Amino acid sequence: MENNYVIGVDFGSDSVRSIVVNAQSGAVLATSVFAYPRWKAGKYCDPARSQYRQHPLDHLEGLEKTIVEALEESGIDPKKVKGIGIDATGSSPMPLQKSGEPLVFAAEFAEDPDAMMVLWKDHSAIAEAEEITKLAQNWGGVDYTRYSGGMYSSEWFWAKILFIYRNNSAIAAAQPNWVEHCDYIAGELTGLLKPEEIKRSRCGAGHKGLWHASWGGFPSGEYLKQLHPELAALGRLMGNETMTSDRAAGNLSPKWAEKLGLSPETVVAVGTIDAHAGAVGAGVKPGTLVKVMGTSTCDMLVANYDEVDPEPVQGISGQVDGSILPGLIGFEAGQAGFGDFLAWYKRLVSTPTFDLIEASEVLDQGTKEQLLAELSDKLMGYLNAEAMKVPLESSVVAVDWINGRRSPGLNESLKSALAGLDMSVGNGQVFKALVEALCFGSKGIIEWFKQNGVRIDEVVGIGGIAKKSPFLVQTMADILDMPIGVSASEQTPALGAAIFGAVASGIYSNLQDASDAIASPKQEEYQPIPANVEYYRGKYQEYLELGRFVEFGKA
């Protein structure tokens, strides 16, 4: 059989990576990664205001560079690349002109952060999200949060846009067409970016944009205009059609075929959100929870229609038909802070030392730079090692709401907490408590799903933390009292995108066959340790009590 090839492109928060995959064997032949230069320099962001924006040029430059480099490294004939799949962060919407060009490319909006991509982790719109929830449940019509867990998040599509329209009237007056990040990239590659041309992904629209087939698509103009008149105009631009990511968004445009050295016959799949692609790349199936462990977590599940209650599960990030795998219900939940929680503690303990080294009059500049780089590289490993020395029983307990709580029961105003400190407590005990809190948060999500009739037989972890922190994964296995498999691939979301590309381009007729050939196997599996399981059953109650105190002022 002649080999065919597909490209998977994964846009993360800090970088984009492209992989070239043999569609028959599943072998990854080459990988290229590009860090966003403007983002790395901190441009257009204001953490104090929870403002995180990205310039589309970071993404366009990275798209071209990584695909060209990966193709060159792979050594294959580029004309044998049949499909491209794309995943991206979400909800990360961006305004486009009616021509399809990003709004920030218009002279009057150049360098305006509100005309750029609003990254998923931008939490400026908490008040707007609460208003969207309240209106949906009280306006007298459809409750548009019904399939989004009963609440709307500041991380999602309409809240971000509403916040910008209320704070930047020039953007609202321009009446741009807002699209999710993954939809923009697919539209850019195909040249189909005008409002009537762009293909909107089912996962982005359903989980982040209040789209559902039961009410005919996106929220009605009557509902949207009560939030802002220009939202109703946007709704009219968007239409109501969405597509699953195994379908073609179009063929590669002549412009991009020339840039990349690919055939204009190359098919581009409809985009998807990175966590959803990661679940596909890990071989998700009914009963398997795929946990994407990064700065935050996304817990991805699928179920057959006859296996779950027809009433939607409340308190999660949503359930949407076909959002992960066509023909199945896709569920999403997660934790708003995961790697961010551990990175916060690393900053807390390292910043004074780093600042003093920078200010030192004893060390020359070269030595300072080398020392700072070495300490930064080794510190997380040191904290993990110190935590592993701590006896199983420890008085220190924490809750994991460093960025608020995403699931179960969205509450973005909640804060983290730490209890049980005394003079004997050191870095190891505190770091261990933070790791335990993250795992307890995961347990809360899984228990919630099970209580609502969703079957979970196994957990598969993907992402850098799953592969780099055996201590955390073993702790999670003990706390969940379930085996935790770890995906072998370093680029599981990109693999999922490649699987979609293989089906959209016709190499495979269905996702199951494509997944069997391309999805990542497990690298290893962590088994729960019985003595630890028993101990953590008790400590989980302490975690719940501390959480109740933080949320309600009493345990």
82 CB neighbour count, 10 Å cutoff: 21
> For 194-213, what is each residue's pLDDT tens digit?
999 999 999 999 999 999 99
Alpha carbon distance 501, 508 (integer Å): 9
Check pLDDT > 60 for residue 132: yes
- Counted residue by residue, the chain has a size of 555
Q: Select from 283, 313, 279 the least CA-distant residue to 293.
A: 279
> For 50-63, what is each residue's pLDDT tens digit?
999 999 999 999 99
Q: Select from 50, 46, 86, 38 the least CA-distant residue to 159.
A: 50
Q: Which two tokens mark 277?
A: 């692609």
| Cβ 457 vs Cβ 285: under 8 Å | no
Instruction: Supply the pLDDT for residue 554.
Output: 78
Overall average pLDDT of the 8-34 stretch: 96
How confident is residue 2, by pLDDT bands cut at 50, 70 and 90?
Answer: confident
Percent of the chain with pLDDT over 70: 100
| Cβ 200 vs Cβ 242: under 8 Å | yes
Alpha carbon distance 390, 289 (integer Å): 30
Whole-model pTM: value is 0.91
Q: Which two tokens mark 126?
A: 């908490």
Alpha carbon distance 499, 497 (integer Å): 5
List, in sequence order, every beta strand (DSSP E) within 448-553.
458-462, 484-487, 522-526
Average pLDDT, the chain: 95
Alpha carbon distance 189, 85 (integer Å): 11
Answer yes or no: CATH 3.20.20.70 is held by domain 283-338+391-487+522-555: no
> For 459-479, what is each residue's pLDDT tens digit?
999 988 998 999 999 999 999
Overall average pLDDT of the 424-448 stretch: 97
> For 347-384, what is each residue's pLDDT tens digit?
999 999 999 999 999 999 999 999 999 999 999 999 99
Q: Which two tokens mark 2?
A: 């002649």
Instruction: Supply the pLDDT for residue 555.
Output: 67
Instruction: Supply the pLDDT for residue 279.
Output: 96
Domain residue ranges in the chain: 5-123+181-211+244-272, 283-338+391-487+522-555
Check pLDDT > 60 for residue 1: no
Q: Select from 496, 34, 37 the least CA-distant residue to 273.
A: 496
Percent of the chain with pLDDT over 90: 94
User: Which is more confident, 3 or 171?
Assistant: 171
Overall average pLDDT of the 173-180 stretch: 97
Q: Is 417 helix (H, G, I), strand (E, B) or coil?
A: strand
Overall average pLDDT of the 115-143 stretch: 96
Query: H-helix or E-strand containing 276?
Result: helix 274-281
Check pLDDT > 60 for residue 223: yes
| Class in CATH terms, 5-123+181-211+244-272 | alpha beta
Instruction: Supply the pLDDT for residue 463.
Output: 87
Overall average pLDDT of the 131-138 stretch: 96
Q: Select from 303, 344, 343, 337 the least CA-distant residue to 320.
A: 303
| Cβ 5 vs Cβ 21: under 8 Å | yes
Check pLDDT > 90 for residue 3: no
CATH topology agreement for domains 5-123+181-211+244-272 and 283-338+391-487+522-555: yes
Q: Helices marked H in 283-426 — which ranges? A: 339-359, 365-389
